[in-house]
Structure 1
Amino acid sequence: MKQWHIAVIEDDAITRDRLTSYFKQEGYQVSAAENAVQLKEIMVLQRIDLILLDINLPDENGLLLTRQLRERSDIGIILVTGRTDSVDRIVGLEMGADDYVTKPIELRELSVRVKNLLWRMALVEQAEINSLTPDNDKVVRFEQYVLDIPKRQLWNNDQQVKLTRSEFELLLAFTRYPQQVLNRERLLSMMTHRNHSPDERTIDVLVRRLRNKLHADLFTAIHGEGYLFVADVE
């Protein structure tokens, strides 16, 4: 069985040691760093599957670091922040984070979030393995786009549109139910398969990101209800 590797990036020594000790006891391989420089040194030498990233780092803005990491990889990112302002959380999601928790940290809650994110990542890996075998039945077409489900890729004619894991899952959910109004709670359940979900505003953030990337108004907001995917899907 695969042992997942978690990196804990936290400048507070007590919190860093607490998280490191806890996840080691949970059976994970854990590396710890107190700043962005140390994280990058670890990532050069080892494969990291998931990062627990404090927003307030001494040498680099954690939100900007999140964006840099997301541009280069599909690594799992859970933000750990002492900030209670929902705007900061939304910005973190827009930068490409998968999830977030606020301090003081409830370790059991964080453990559930980590397990669910890693479970989703395992599905991605399996999908990539399955993609080695062509399967035309798993290709979805709408407008000028082609969504290749086994390969988890979106194409605009001959140009690939880069999607994060969360963006892909949300778009796939929409293509399964075109021309139907889907509320945020239902969309979250189709994306994450977990009982304890992030704030429903996560969906608003992801829809905004998809609108920017697809360059088309395919998502209509229905006030008080949710979203409608207006494209004809084949």
Structure 2
Amino acid sequence: MSNDNPPHVLVVDDDPAIRTLIEEYLRDNDLRVTAASNGKEMTAALTEHAIDLIILDLRMPGEDGMQIARRIRDQSSLPIIVVSGRLDEADRVMALELGADDYVTKPFSPRELLARIRTVLRRSAATQVLTGRQLDVRAYRFAGWELNIGTRKLISPAGVRIDLTNGEFSLLSAFLAAPGRILSREQLLEASRLYDDVFDRSIDVQILRLRRKIEENPSTPQFIKTERGAGYTFAAAVEKLSSVAL
């Protein structure tokens, strides 16, 4: 983004010292910042501002970070970086499975946090281009399945909601945006936004997990086909549903 319209970051943390530290550092590095101390203030800020990324404290009184992350992810694909003083791997895994894009432990270096913010924003922008979210696509349909881009819900032909991790959603979106086109592992890795070491970095493992959720027989896939030496392609016909009323 240009300096005339820098990314807008929403910091959600009940600790005023942490909020001030993050706010001042990010503003000093040409980012717009809005702060909130709880989920209610966050909701008001999201209504008032066009936010590009949320920094979310995991442990807060009342509605905690896990609940807030789930609420955000049920409604949008807005990038989330979770910040927590807990080193427990279970918390890291849970936050990422709920759809967080990164996880930073306290105490942290403001410089490192800024680098992670820029990385998440860059990958988010690349994913939007690859998946066609900038083309006003509301949902994709294929072989009786429907993936809603706004709500991130995948519904099976039987009407059952299939839970997707953040990476699986981004991978499937990338495939549905470019049916019949070979996507390289590098393109898919960029789209999946998987850059935390608690997950296997192999894109092939992520593809296998996605196949298990949408293929009748994952060992002989009908949708996600392997193109040896090149990558993968989505073989089914895809209907794009526009969010623009015609």
> Shift of the alpha carbon at 1:229?
11
CA 1:203–1:170: 2 relative to 1, 3 Å: farther
* In the alignment, structure 1 residue 159 sits paired with structure 2 residue 165: no
Alignment partner, residue 137 of structure 1: none
Alignment partner, residue 230 of structure 2: none
CA 1:15–1:169: 2 relative to 1, 3 Å: same
Q: More helix by proportion, 1 or 2?
A: 1
> Shift of the alpha carbon at 1:13?
1.1
Q: Distance in 2 between matches of 1:25 and 1:125?
A: 27
Alignment partner, residue 89 of structure 1: 92
> Shift of the alpha carbon at 1:16?
0.9
Aligned pairs, how many? Answer: 199
> Shift of the alpha carbon at 1:191?
4.3
2:40 corresponds, among 28, 37, 40, to 37
User: What are structure 1's unaligned runs of at least 5 residues?
Assistant: 133-150, 221-227
Residues 125-184 of structure 1, C-alpha deviation per residue, up to 9 Å, x if partnerless? 44537747xxxxxxxxxxxxxxxxxx69653324322457632444559x746xxxx9xx
- What is the root-mean-square deviation of aligned Cα atoms in Å? 3.7
Q: Distance in 1 between matches of 2:206 and 2:64?
A: 22
Is this contact kept in 1: 2:57–2:82, CA < 8 A?
A: yes
2:126 corresponds, among 123, 127, 152, to 123
Identity %: 32
CA 1:109–1:76: 2 relative to 1, 3 Å: same
User: What are structure 2's unaligned runs of at least 5 residues?
Assistant: 153-164, 176-181, 226-232, 236-246
Alignment partner, residue 59 of structure 1: 62
Alignment partner, residue 25 of structure 1: 28
Is this contact kept in 1: 2:79–2:100, CA < 8 A?
A: yes
TM-score normalised by the chain length of structure 2: 0.66
Residues 158-214 of structure 1, C-alpha deviation per residue, up to 9 Å, x if partnerless? 4322457632444559x746xxxx9xx998577449xxx411426599679746753
Q: Distance in 2 between matches of 1:210 and 1:44?
A: 33
Q: Alignment partner of 2:86: what SS?
A: coil
Bigger relative CO (Cα 8 Å, ≥ 6 apart)? 2
Q: Alignment partner of 2:56: what SS?
A: strand
> Shift of the alpha carbon at 1:107?
1.6
TM-score normalised by the chain length of structure 1: 0.69
